[in-house]
Every structure is written in C-alpha cells, then in structure tokens.
A and B are shown apart, each in its own frame.
Chain A
C-alpha cells in the first residue's frame, strides 16, 4: 500500500483481511496454529517452510578502509518489527585476534554464527601449529556458510561486514556477505539502509580523496554517516559502537552517540504539527 497522509485511505487497523499494519500479506506468513486458515495459492504451499522472515533485527552496518586498517560501526538497537525492543545489543563481534564482524538482520542467526565461529577458532587454536585464522580466512568461511544455507533454502537472515588486517602481511580485508551468499569487497561498505544512504557519503569522504583518511578523520567520517543514518532510518538508534582493526589487533569501542538537531522537523509536512 502506498504511503499517504490521507487517513481515510488507510483502512481500518488490523481488520483488512489479508493485510498487516504495514500492508504486508499475512497469508504468506507462518503463524502458529493458523495453518488451516492459510489460503493456498500455489502447488508448493504445503511444502516444508524454512525461515521466511527475520524476527528480531539489527539495522545497517558500515565499514571503511583507512590508513592503519579497517573501521566498522553499528548501532546498539535490536528491533522487533518496528518496536525498538533491545537498546543495548552489541552487533560488532570480534573473531580471533585481528577480525571483527558486524551483523545486520536477524539477531538470533547472528548469535548462531558467533557460536559457529567460536568453535572454528578453538578448533584451530588446538592444532597449535603456529597458524591462526586471519580476516581473509574467516570471510571465506562465512561466505561459504551463507551460500550453503541459502542453497538449502534455509538462509541465515543476515548481511555481514567482515573487517580485519592480516597480522603477518598487514593486508587489510573489508568485505560483505549476505543471506543470498552474495559477496563483494570494497574500500567502503554499508548494508541495507546504509548501502543507499551512507555509501554515497562514504565514497565521497573516503574514496574521492588523494590519501586514505587517518584514524581521527576516519572516526569523523563514521560519525557523520551514523548521524545521517539515525536521521533517515526509522529503525536506528543514536547509540553505536565503533570497531577498529589494525596490524596491532582489534578493538571495539564503548557505546557513543552524536549531537543531533531536530528543529527542522516542525517544518516538514506530514511530520510536524500541521493539521492540513
């Protein structure tokens, strides 16, 4: 349903047979005990249904390459639909000594991936052969995992940004993998909303300059992006963490926030106090 400010075209709340409050088709969703109510529209409707949608979700993650390594950021919110359900969730997770992953999408799937990676790192540690998993290896593992799960029609409902620096060569890795198994690597990365809103900013501020930004400049760029994301993304929170990974190791900051200005909101038609 197209968004309109004319409430007469909104319909009655929750009663329109096939629509939920966002205009989604509820007959396409799994609801406990309502199997017999579902109106089957195709021959495969009785088939086994795997994950159809995420439940508790995190919004965008951003990442950029800077002079000494990689910087990532993600806010501390886990939403339950449009409800800001958990406001103290860490969506950046360190794996091994020189890698950090940032997760958007389903938070329970993210926790499962954290557990999988923990097992992997321990297995590797026990071999005690002088090799440790660097960001390139962890990214490879995750992309294989994500593609495998989507091929089983049972995806892990996430988009991940993997950032790290190889402890031996100093080679930085900044890469993306999502629930479809799509992978790419770039000097600036954003998932979801950030891929639309933050990427143009990041490209201008990071890629269009002669020298890569230093740590201080990189943090400023991250903050600018997080601010814009907070303004424009209704599922975001002005409380976020920043991770930096250099050859020396990985570090996740305490939560921080940015100054915001909402004075202009009054003047926006459909948002502020206008009645017409």
Chain B
C-alpha cells in the first residue's frame, strides 16, 4: 500500500492507495488519510489508527500548553519518539507503518515522513509503502515549485495509478486529501468533483503509459 505526499507552494497533497480487502467494503470507509488536528494529517497503514489517536493527543496537548497549533516538526519529533520507544523493549513490537504527515502553518506548507524506527525527515515530496521507488522517481520529475494544488492533486492521482499493476495487484481505492490555500488551510479530503476528475485522469494516464510499454 502506497502513500505519497507532495508539497507545492500553496499547500500539501496526500494520496493513498487503499487496497480493498473485500469487495463488500463500503466505498469511502476505513480511510487511510486521517486528520490529527485542523492543520495536520497523516497517511497511514496497519497500526495507523493507533498512531492517529496518539497524534491527536499530542496536538491537543500542545494546544492546551501553548494555545497554538503544533508545528509539524514538533509533531514529527513527538511521534518519532513514540515510535522509537516501541523499538527498545522486548515486550513490545515496533510499529509496522511508515507515516506521511502534512500541515500548513504560518511558515507555509510542511511535509514530513516518519519511519517505524522513529527517524523522521522533512520533504518536498515523498512516497512510502509498496512501490515507493517508482513513485519517488516520478515525483523527482515534477517541477514542484511550479505546480498549483489542483495540478498536484492530478499528479498524485496519476502516480498512485501508475504504480499499481492491475494484473498482479488487488483492486484499490484512491484517497486524496489536501491542506492549503484551496482548502481554506484546513486538512480535508478533496471535493467529490475534483476527486472524480483526478481519479479518471490518473487511470487513463496510467493505462496509456502501460500501452506504450
């Protein structure tokens, strides 16, 4: 399962490939991109729900203490420490997840990824999960400083579809979220209309790519 994050001048886009464990799953449920505060979000896998709860607590704790939203670097640090603690004891297992988190604060758009070890890095664009090498190669081709949020949503959809191999992999549902100018600086899943356009675009681009090969 792949998650990518793209940071452009006006905001950050997260895209996730949610593999469908069952065809009976109601569309739009069991989301993998979740909000941790008005300003932060996480692209998550497996143990993600638990980490989201923790992220919410950290965000609330910071707000209670400092009366302002937590800077993403601090949130990454706190979550990193939390993940790291789970690597230090024989009685617990480490988290089986890589996490991408995004925010928009007074210093502009922020994007971080946290590894299961607790290491975290800031990024212009990143991918975690299955097929991340291919996704990263695609991300490197983008001119991130020239993209609008809307364009980035389309690119994100394209890359998620491109990495997915319909002949080998299970079916999936695309998730797209953004935070920045176009979302009134709150983290939100992209509007239905845009989602549909981006999804169609991604699908057709990926198919034509495969035709050429």
Chain A interface residues toward B at CB < 8 A: 115, 118-119, 122-123, 125-126, 128
Contacts and interface: CB of A to CB of B under 8 A. Distances in A.
B34 A122 contact: no
26 contacts: A115-B63, A115-B64, A115-B67, A118-B63, A119-B60, A119-B63, A119-B64, A122-B37, A122-B38, A122-B59, A122-B60, A122-B63, A123-B56, A123-B60, A125-B35, A125-B38, A125-B186, A126-B34, A126-B35, A126-B36, A126-B37, A126-B56, A128-B31, A128-B34, A128-B35, A128-B189
Contacts of B60: 119, 122-123
| Chain B interface size, under 10 / 10 to 19 / 20 to 34 / 35 or more | 10 to 19
Contacts, number: 26
A109 to B, nearest CB: 15
Given A122-B59, A123-B60, 15 more contacts: A115-B63, A115-B67, A118-B63, A119-B63, A122-B60, A122-B63, A123-B56, A125-B35, A125-B38, A125-B186, A126-B34, A126-B35, A126-B37, A128-B31, A128-B35
Contacts of B56: 123, 126
Interface string B27-45: 0000100111110000000
A39 to B, nearest CB: 40
Contacts of B36: 126
A219 B93 CA distance: 63
Nearest to A127: B35
B37 to A, nearest CB: 6
B188 to A, nearest CB: 8
A128 B180 CA distance: 18
